[in-house]
């Protein structure tokens, strides 16, 4: 009489392996774009933070000198997906703005309607960068609009600052 010896098979079938690979592929298709978007938003936060810092420095400078200061584009050649060392191209040191470390964006302060940002003039703080190297830049602008508080005569005018953005990295 012949005995059949049954060997216990170990391992996974091809179907089981294909199912696992499919599940991993679906999870990766969801996770990778989400992660890349998260990184882009984190880099974008730099622009908003530094624009706010420049605004605070400009307001302090204006309080002491009765005028805003035009600041040239800095750092020149920045605005890429790789951080660029900060170089004060003109004006930022005078207002007391020094970002910590390297930056992704290029910054500039522009004053409309003449120099110095006197009462009623608009000041724009711009940030520009291409964080994903697709040649479509993201632009952020914080601008001031001269307004009169309460609409009453004799009340000091103030600037209502607002930030706007555009581009594919926004």
pLDDT of residue 17: 95
The answer to whether residue 152 scores a pLDDT higher than 70 is no
Q: In a 3-state reduction of DSSP, which class is residue 163?
A: strand
pLDDT of residue 155: 36
What's the pTM value of the predicted model, to 2 decimals?
Answer: 0.70
- Report CA torsion sign: 32, 34, 36, 38: negative
Q: Could you tell me which residue, 155 or 69, shows the higher pLDDT?
A: 69
Instruction: Report how far Cα 27 is from the mean position of its chain's Cα atoms.
Output: 28
Average pLDDT for 58-77: 87
The answer to whether residue 150 scores a pLDDT higher than 60 is no
The answer to whether residue 121 scores a pLDDT higher than 90 is no
The structure tokens listed for 117 are 């940002």
The answer to whether residue 140 scores a pLDDT higher than 80 is yes
| pLDDT band (50, 70, 90) for residue 7 | low
The answer to whether residue 23 scores a pLDDT higher than 70 is yes
| pLDDT band (50, 70, 90) for residue 159 | low
pLDDT of residue 27: 96
Helices (H) and strands (E) in the chain, counts: 2, 5
99-115 per-position pLDDT tens digit? 888 888 889 999 876 55
């Amino acid at each position: 009489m012949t005995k059949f010896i049954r060997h216990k098979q170990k391992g996974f079938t091809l179907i089981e392996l294909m199912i696992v690979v499919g599940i991993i592929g679906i999870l990766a298709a969801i996770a990778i774009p989400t992660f890349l978007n998260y990184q882009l938003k984190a880099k974008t936060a730099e622009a908003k933070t530094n624009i706010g810092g420049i605004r605070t420095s400009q307001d302090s400078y204006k309080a002491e000198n009765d005028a805003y200061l035009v600041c040239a584009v800095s750092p020149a050649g920045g605005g890429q997906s790789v951080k660029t060392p900060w170089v004060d191209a003109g004006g930022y040191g005078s207002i007391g703005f020094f970002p910590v470390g390297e930056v992704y964006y290029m910054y500039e302060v522009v004053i409309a309607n003449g120099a110095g940002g006197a009462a009623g003039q608009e000041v724009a703080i711009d940030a520009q960068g291409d964080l994903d190297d697709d040649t479509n830049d993201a632009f952020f602008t914080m601008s001031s609009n001269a307004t009169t508080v309460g609409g009453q005569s004799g009340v000091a005018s103030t600037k209502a600052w607002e930030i706007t953005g555009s581009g594919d990295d926004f």
